[in-house]
Structure 1
Amino acid sequence: MRRRSAGSVGYDRPVGDGYAADQGRIASGTAHGNWLTLGKDGRLTLYAPTDGGLLRWSETAVGGPAWSGPHFVSVADLTDLTVAQGANGYVHFLGRRQRTGSDGSPSVDIVHAIQYQTGRAVTEWRSIGNPHSDRDQGRALGVPIGTIATDGTVHVFVRSASRGLMLRREAPNGKWKAWEDLLGSGIDELPAAVALAGGRVEVCAAAETGVLVWRQAEAGGGFAAPRGFSLRPVQGTVAALETGPDRATYFWTDAADGGTAAWRPGGWPVALGGSPAERPYAVLRTALDGYDCVVLASRGQDGTAVLGLGGTENETNGFWWYALAEHCQGAPALARDGLGRVVMALIDPEGVPRVARQEDGAGLALTRWQRL
């Protein structure tokens, strides 16, 4: 596999309907999850939180380069926004909402909405509640993390007040099941969930004691008690990606050496080098030069974006990192566009989205950054 520098030079002029600052609203950071999605029509959409709701930009044609937006979606009192997409292309939004009651005390719940098609309206935001009936405990509820199984079942995972893992599922018919206590203790606020092609869902979380992994024995079934492993990921950096048939690889920043590690249950973590990440890695599996590859992106400690790539489940053969010149908030996002090209997105320090695409040719070189 030949490699070219994932370079970053200059800026293009804004395209589409203008960028966020021109519209009076800017992104307040980045969402959790997969906030750059590919619709069934082949167009990409980028989502970002903003004061009072979220912003949305969509490609006007398959492969771009023009984008429409930003389109503002109102939803008040969100502290965190997570984006997840199912195999059917539906985009699910999960929010942690904190409101102040008439007595002046805050209360927390989780809200959910769906966008069924690129550029179409978002459904009504509906509360799915809080697993804690006690208001004090409820305020300690973590960030909702979502994944959608192959049958369309929405899985919402959230850290409880006791720092275990809670789950609520929505069946494809729209009916929500009761909250489930998946146990565990001392876990990170940002567990990593992955929906595998065979129908099962797995979750991995950094914890005070190491790593905890929850697995379904079969698609749609219950989750076994978490299995613990004596590993040392930095909390807040774990990401998950299906890298083989019904098999996930987990990526994180290793607390011992400060570099990136890849791990599959049953083996030992493999050091990938690189620099420490601050948030969960953006992860993407794609073909490059005829090779099955994993692409990672993160925000380094100096605030600039970092891109890495290597062979899928072939980490010992080498992993290559490229420091980009772009400063960003939170974690970048990765996706393939409707023409199959790798696209990287970030939110710059001014709250403006920027995107760069894979250039034609060998390896993974990026075009000039485009300001939306």
Structure 2
Amino acid sequence: MRRRSAGAVGYARPVGNGEAAGPRHVASGTAHGNWLTLGKDGRLTLYAPTDGGLLRWSETAVGGPAWSGPHFVAVADLTDLTVAQGADGYVHLLGRRQRTGSDGARSVDIVHAIQYQTGRAVTDWRSLGNPHKDHEQGRGLGVPVGAIASDGTVHVFVRSAGRGLMLRREAPNGKWKAWEDLLGSGIDAPPAAVALSGGRGEVCAAAETGVWMWRQAEAGGSFATPRGFALRPTPGTVAALETGPDRATYFWTDAADGGTVAWRPGGWPVALGPAPAERPYAALRTALDGYDCVVLACRGQDGTAVLGVGGTENEANGFWWYALPERCQGTPALARDGLGRVVMALIDPDGVPRLARQDEGAGLAFTRWQRL
């Protein structure tokens, strides 16, 4: 893979449709999930948490290079932000909110909003509540994770205070069903959820005893009793990607040797090399030089971004890692822009988004980094 030297290219930031814009806001980290999304109109949108809400940047034209933003979306008391997108292009924003009442008691709930079109305002935020009725117990609720089925049904998974897995999802009439207890135990971090193109969903979570897997037998159906596997992922690093028809591959950092592995149920984990992550890997499937490939990205132990490339479901033939000079917070993001180019985004230590696009030529080379 060819790499150019790092650089910063500045662009004007026109105000487009949105809530508010202002230079005083900077990102406080990275969102969970796929926080760089491609709209139906071919424009990219980038989301990041900030004090008092979230920030949003949007391309002003397909393929850039100019962006509008940052647009500030106020969401008081938000502790965590998660971004999930469905096949219909709608972007679902999930948050964990912790509020303090007039009596001083703290309560936690999960909130949800939708952005239907690039650059447009998000819907009103709606509370999905908390599966725990007791406020003290409810404060142990984890970070929400979203998976949007092929029919648009939203699934929200969250670790319970008892360290099992809870689910709340939409009914066919658009209303929300009650919280469902999916069981499991010893979950240490947000799970990895994937909505497969065939309509089914799967969830994988690291736990004290290994790995828990939940699967739907059919689209729209119930999740079967979880199955445990004696594997050793580092909590908080598990990511999921559909790599075949109705089939997912899971990636994580191995707790025993610190290397990255790929795993599909029914097989053994395959070592991909020494690229340990602190949070879930960003994962993207794309064609490179005519080959079906998986691209992974993470924040390395020295605080710089790391990129990996290998054949899809062909891990035994090698996986190549590249240390980039750009420093970042949290997990980078990967997407394809409206022209089909791979785009890598990160939040730098100053809370400013930076991104680079796939350059022309063989392999996966990037253009100079652009500072938004």
Q: TM-score range by the shorter chain?
A: over 0.9
2:71 counterpart residue number: 71
Amino acid at match of 1:366: F
CA contact (8 A) 1:156 1:169 kept: yes
Amino acid at match of 1:371: R
Q: For residues 329 and 221 of structure 1, do their structure 2 counterparts lie closer, same or farther at Cα, with a shift above 3 Å needed?
A: same
1:294 counterpart residue number: 294
Q: Deviations over 1:77-129 (max 9, x none)?
A: 00000000000000000000000011101000000000000000100001010
TM-score where L is the length of structure 1: 0.97
Q: For residues 110 and 22 of structure 1, do their structure 2 counterparts lie closer, same or farther at Cα, with a shift above 3 Å needed?
A: closer
1:254 counterpart residue number: 254
Which one scores higher on RCO, CA 8 angstroms, separation ≥ 6? 1
Q: For residues 21 and 8 of structure 1, do their structure 2 counterparts lie closer, same or farther at Cα, with a shift above 3 Å needed?
A: farther
Which sections of structure 1, spanning at least 5 residues, go unmatched? none
1:55 counterpart residue number: 55
Shift of 1:8: 4.2
Residues 64-213 of structure 1: pairs in structure 2 closer than 5 A? 64-171=64-171, 173-213=173-213
Q: Deviations over 1:33-53 (max 9, x none)?
A: 000000000000000001111
Query: Which secondary structure does the structure 1 equivalent of 2:316 belong to?
Result: helix
Distance in 2 separating the partners of 1:255 and 1:48: 29
CA contact (8 A) 1:296 1:307 kept: yes
Whether 1:17 aligns to 2:14 is: yes
1:236 counterpart residue number: 236
Whether 1:222 aligns to 2:219 is: no
Q: Deviations over 1:332-365 (max 9, x none)?
A: 0000000000000000000000000000111100
Q: Deviations over 1:238-278 (max 9, x none)?
A: 00000001100000001111110000000000000032101
CA contact (8 A) 1:200 1:218 kept: yes
1:270 counterpart residue number: 270
Shift of 1:189: 2.1
Distance in 2 separating the partners of 1:275 and 1:165: 28
TM-score where L is the length of structure 2: 0.97
Amino acid at match of 2:141: L
Distance in 1 separating the partners of 2:258 and 2:59: 37
Whether 1:334 aligns to 2:334 is: yes
> How many corresponding residue pairs?
368
Distance in 2 separating the partners of 1:341 and 1:348: 22
Shift of 1:12: 1.3
Amino acid at match of 2:93: F
Amino acid at match of 1:52: G
Paired-residue identity, %: 84
Computed over aligned residues only, the root mean square deviation of the Cα atoms, in angstroms, reads 1.3
Amino acid at match of 1:197: S
